[in-house]
């Protein structure tokens, strides 16, 4: 089927309107009309080729909410009219031990990204949610629970699951002391989710500019990461720190903040980090870890959790043709706290 969206044509130019083909639905596919698409910092990294693996033209977008408009002959989970959501993956082998455990993001053969990845059958490069339609196998679509605000749900599909997953891995619950570095898209979800799990939450931000917001989002306090005295006073006071900083950075200021056996989990920077001093790790038995998105089963669990607890991202709705300004603002950390594109604003060229 013919569809249309916005694409990056190369690393330096703004995104432009783009018409392309979606595959004809296979027996196990659903066809979605996309209603809302979240804007992740990964979209910006990928559009600018920061990770050196972008294939152009690139249609970004992996926080996708839509309505089923057609189903393949063997689809059992969804029917036309259902509201469904798709995140960062659209396929995996579904046969290995990790897929068997519902951890398709860790598929031994590699998962298939929602954009910029070769389709497992045709080899065609996948295209994401900055578009009018998506064709996806039913196993990689999640159900939007009744009552969850569709216009605010999209960021749960990446920012939400990427922070929910480590909170679950490290058993965050009442009494856990959680730090969140960087109050952006991922960071604000980490705060809301950890608070909803009963944790005591501290935001670590570069300035006091977001202090009021941090408390409103559910944090107990904000620690200014450039305030050496305050950082010193906070030593050994966290069980888990979720690090969402989107660029190469130094962990030395943060590691001493962990208590014994505490973990700093990197979810932000994808690539080289500055070297760090092992002394605080050795002496305090502290850990540095990483975590990629989350599995489909856990994404559904997150959506249900958010519907039950009324946890929703703070979004700024934009039109599709405002995407380039949104990217510029995201680069300056000028977003409170996630842009979502209203796909009704996307018209055929
Ligand atoms: P974002 O909305 O731009 O937020 C990042 C936040 O980090 C900013 O709001 C800012 O918070 C802080 N920050 C920005 N530049 C910084 C710098 N130079 N030094 C220190 N702190 C800085 O981005 P996002 O959408 O949350 O994404 C964050 C990162 O996660 C991206 O690199 C993205 O690619 C990655 N990501 C990873 C996964 C995964 O699977 N692990 C999934 C999705 C995204 P303050 O102003 O409060 O300091
Ligand atoms: Zn993302």
The 10s digit of each residue's pLDDT in 249-282 is: 999 999 999 999 999 999 999 999 998 899 999 9
Q: Specify whether 9 is located in the same domain as 126.
A: yes
Is the link from the previous residue into 92 a cis peptide, with omega within 30 of 0? no
pLDDT of residue 347: 84
Q: What is the mean pLDDT of residues 81-110?
A: 98
Let me know whether 17 and 152 are in one domain.
yes
Helices (H), the chain: 41-47, 97-100, 150-153, 159-169, 185-196, 211-217, 228-233, 279-284, 296-309, 323-331
Do both 229 and 139 map to the same domain?
Answer: no
> What's the 321 CA to ligand 1 centre distance in angstroms?
23
Count: domains in the chain: 2
Pairing of strands 2-7, 16-21: antiparallel
DSSP, residue by residue, 238-249: EEEEEE---S--
Residue whose CA lies nearest to ligand 1 atom number 30: 268
Does residue 348 carry a pLDDT above 80?
A: no
Report the pocket of ligand 1 as residue ranges, CB < 6 Å: 40-42, 45, 158-159, 162, 182-187, 205-206, 210, 244-247, 249, 267-270, 291-293, 330, 333, 335
What is d(CA 349, CA 347) in angstroms, rounded to the nearest whole number?
Answer: 6
* Mean residue pLDDT across the chain: 97
273 and 301 share a domain? no
* 58 and 133 belong to one structural domain: yes
113 and 179 share a domain?
A: no
Judgement on whether residues 94 and 225 belong to the same structural domain of the protein: no
**pLDDT for 119-143, tens place per residue?**
999 999 999 999 999 999 999 999 9
50 with 138, same domain: the answer is yes
Domain final residue pick, 290, 308, 334:
290
Which of 245, 272, 290 corresponds to the end of one domain? 290
CATH number for position 57: 3.90.180.10
Same domain, 244 and 148: no
For the chain, what percent of residues have pLDDT higher than 70? 99
Domain with 102 in it: 2-157+294-345
pLDDT in tens, 37-76: 999 999 999 999 999 999 999 999 999 999 999 999 999 9
CATH number of domain containing 249: 3.40.50.720
Record the tokens describing residue 102, joined without a space. Answer: 């519902």
**One domain, residues 92 and 237:** no
């Amino acid at each position: 089927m013919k569809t249309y969206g916005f694409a990056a044509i190369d690393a330096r130019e703004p995104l432009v309107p783009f018409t392309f083909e979606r595959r004809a639905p296979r027996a196990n596919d659903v066809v979605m009309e996309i209603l809302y698409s979240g804007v992740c910092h990964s979209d910006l990294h990928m559009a600018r080729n920061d990770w050196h693996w972008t294939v152009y033209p690139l249609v970004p977008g992996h926080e996708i909410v839509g309505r089923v408009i057609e189903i393949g002959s063997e689809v059992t989970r969804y029917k036309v009219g259902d509201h469904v959501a798709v995140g960062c993956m659209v396929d995996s082998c579904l046969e290995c031990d990790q897929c068997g455990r519902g951890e398709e993001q860790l598929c031994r053969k590699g998962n298939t990204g929602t954009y910029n990845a070769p389709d497992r059958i045709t080899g065609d490069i996948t295209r994401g949610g900055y578009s009018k339609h998506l064709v996806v196998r039913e196993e990689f679509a999640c159900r939007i629970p009744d009552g969850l605000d569709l216009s605010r749900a999209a960021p749960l599909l990446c920012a939400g699951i990427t922070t929910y997953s480590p909170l679950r891995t490290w058993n965050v619950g009442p009494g856990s002391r959680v730090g969140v570095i960087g109050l952006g898209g991922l960071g604000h979800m980490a705060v809301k989710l950890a608070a909803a799990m009963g944790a005591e939450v501290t935001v670590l931000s570069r300035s006091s500019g977001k202090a009021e917001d941090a408390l409103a989002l559910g944090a107990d306090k904000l620690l200014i990461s450039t305030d050496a005295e305050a950082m010193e006073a906070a030593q050994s006071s966290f069980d888990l720190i979720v690090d969402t900083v989107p660029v190469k950075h130094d962990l030395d200021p943060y590691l001493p903040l962990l208590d014994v056996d505490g973990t700093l989990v990197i979810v932000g920077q994808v690539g080289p980090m500055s070297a760090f001093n092992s002394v605080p790790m050795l002496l305090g038995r502290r850990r540095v870890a990483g975590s990629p998105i989350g599995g489909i089963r856990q994404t559904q669990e997150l959506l249900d959790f958010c519907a039950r607890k009324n946890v929703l991202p703070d979004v700024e709705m934009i039109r599709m043709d405002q995407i380039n300004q949104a990217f510029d603002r995201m680069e300056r950390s000028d977003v409170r706290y996630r842009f979502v594109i209203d796909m009704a604003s996307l018209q055929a060229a």
